[in-house]
Chain A
Amino acid sequence: MSTILTVNNLTKKFGHLTAVKDLSFSIEKGHVYGILGPNGSGKSTTLGIVLNVVNKTSGNFHWFDGSVSTHEALKKVGAIIERPNFYPYMTAVQNLKLVCKIKEVSEDKIEEKLELVGLLDRKNSKFKTYSLGMKQRLAIASALLNDPEILILDEPTNGLDPQGIHQIRQIITKIAAEGTTILLASHLLDEVEKVCSHVIILRKGEKLYAGRVDGMLASHGFFELKCDDMKKLVSTLKANPSFLEIKQENGLVTAFLKEEMDAKHLNESLFKNGIVLSHLVKRKESLEEQFLTLTKNQSN
């Protein structure tokens, strides 16, 4: 597997503020990565540095195998940072032609990419007449013009209406399905959860975690249980050494596992103890719960 981006000990200071602190990670080909973090955690700054628009304070990074300069490498990258930036007085096609010139690729992909993002019928309208959702979609079309090795999206659904968000997500899923490596920065966790296989979690410019989504917490999941005699259920569960913590809220008992246990096994043993369950669900923590646990742990 080839590495697309390697970042080593990257640090960026804005005066006294350290936006990115000693950050290291690498992006492998073929995965969909999410960079997670609250607002101001250094996501955009990190992307800005590797995309040549923000100067690093120290550390280093290189694209691909490190043999080409950053701006040459960027021709093989598609990236959208924050708002879509185009020349407002030019039409979609004119803007894309300009991007082709910069990236030194031929212009015959323009129609195809406009079709992909559903802008073909508005291709000769000026950029300034576009709605935000259309602008964002044009940005994606522009980022895809060179059939990039990696697509970098920074908050692609920020400020869009539900319909727009849905359209962008569909496009992202479509692109991911074609095997393009994607790096998605977002603070919307369900967005990342839906499309990403790997995450990098940042807080105050520091890396909390980098790796697979499901390996984020060494967690075995939890059960949600309900029965007629809740008191007995809780005391039985508390007696079982396989459980870490038992919580009771909203008429549901949540039991966190210390070790692996399947639902069938639990049901069986509870039934032997005379407890008949009316509700049994085994779940893994959602990304949001994992993220909150992780950021909370670190702040203690």
Chain B
Amino acid sequence: MIRLLQIEFIKLWNNRASKILIISYFFILTSIALVAAIKFDIGPVKFHMAEIGIFNFPYIWHFNTFITAFFKLFLAIVIVSMMANEYSNKTIKQNLIDGLSKKEFILSKFLTVVSFALISTIFVFIVSLILGLMYSDYDELSIIFSDLEFIVAFFFKLLGFFSFCLFLGILVKRSAFALGFLILWQVLEGIIRGLIRWKLFDGDTTETIMGFFPLQSMFNLIKEPFTRLEAVQTVANQVGEHINLNYRVHWYEIVIVMAWTAIFIYLSYALLKKRDL
């Protein structure tokens, strides 16, 4: 296992584009939180992000995982191109000839993806913890470590998404087209949602069905955190609107994403096994 990770590491770390993307990804993960903490303090209007409660435990777990998840696109590019490059350089062929089995090849890519997701999760956990300790109004241990399911959900969300990217890389074999396909898929899920809502079911049922689609299921894992903010809820209450949303991470949502992860990795393997190189 270590050997497979080392193999991938040599391939990735010596590629300047990948290296820059990986470094900037982690840099942005760190700095986005820090910037948010200071930036809003300046100006004639005293508006401190920290004071409206976004850095309060346990809300910060929800907020930070939701926001940082958007930056996964950086790594998506790295993953898609690390897969597609193997095809365009024909190095996948050479790897197999040199004695890597097809299973090991997929496993080495999957392990890399798991590492990416894991490191990102640990990173977000640490950054959020530090930010929270600095700005949170509550600092009892029991509050700090509540709602940690968002961190778990974050891990599975990234893992699922990266596995999808991996599969697209193998399927399409060209990084640009694979990324295009990813966007196309997003649009496609939107169209399907529209069609189901229009012709078949009511809003709630449509949402339930959409929850089984890969990208939507990944998005569902961490719901938007904004309406949960006290400030927003106060405003909503004042205009007579009552917001009642379910913010929790549900176990069945994680199961759906895990199932997609398994499907994508298995399909990647099946595809590689079936193809003549």
B94-A85 in contact (CB<8A): yes
1/0 per residue, CB under 8 A from B, across A65-103: the answer is: 000011111110101010101111110001001110111
B15-A89 in contact (CB<8A): yes
B96-A52 in contact (CB<8A): yes
| B7 at the binding interface (Cβ < 8 Å) | yes
CB-defined contacts of A104 to chain B, threshold 8 Å: 3, 99
Known interface pairs A53-B96, A85-B89, A88-B89; 17 further A-B residue pairs with C-beta atoms within 8 A, sorted by A's residue number: A48-B276, A51-B97, A52-B101, A53-B97, A55-B275, A55-B276, A74-B99, A75-B99, A85-B90, A86-B91, A87-B89, A87-B91, A89-B14, A94-B14, A98-B11, A102-B95, A102-B98
| B104 at the binding interface (Cβ < 8 Å) | yes
A87-B11 in contact (CB<8A): yes
CB contacts under 8 Å to B, within A141-160, are 142
Chain A: minimal CB distance from B276 (Å): 5
Q: A85 CA to B92 CA in the complex, in Å?
A: 9
Q: A77 CA to B273 CA in the complex, in Å?
A: 21
Q: How large is the interface on A (under 10, 10 to 19, 20 to 34, 35 or more residues)?
A: 20 to 34
CB-defined contacts of B101 to chain A, threshold 8 Å: 52, 69-71
1/0 per residue, CB under 8 A from A, across B1-26: the answer is: 00100110011001110000000000
Q: A74 CA to B96 CA in the complex, in Å?
A: 8
Partner of B10, one of A51, A70, A85, A98: A98
Residues of A within 8 A of B (CB): 14, 48, 51-55, 69-75, 77, 79, 81, 83, 85-90, 94, 97-99, 101-104, 142
| B69 at the binding interface (Cβ < 8 Å) | no
Q: A74 CA to B104 CA in the complex, in Å?
A: 14
B7-A101 in contact (CB<8A): yes
CB-defined contacts of A103 to chain B, threshold 8 Å: 98-99
CB-defined contacts of B39 to chain A, threshold 8 Å: none
Chain A residue, CB-CB nearest to B93: A53
CB-defined contacts of A99 to chain B, threshold 8 Å: 98
Q: A99 CA to B273 CA in the complex, in Å?
A: 21
A102-B100 in contact (CB<8A): yes
| B46 at the binding interface (Cβ < 8 Å) | no
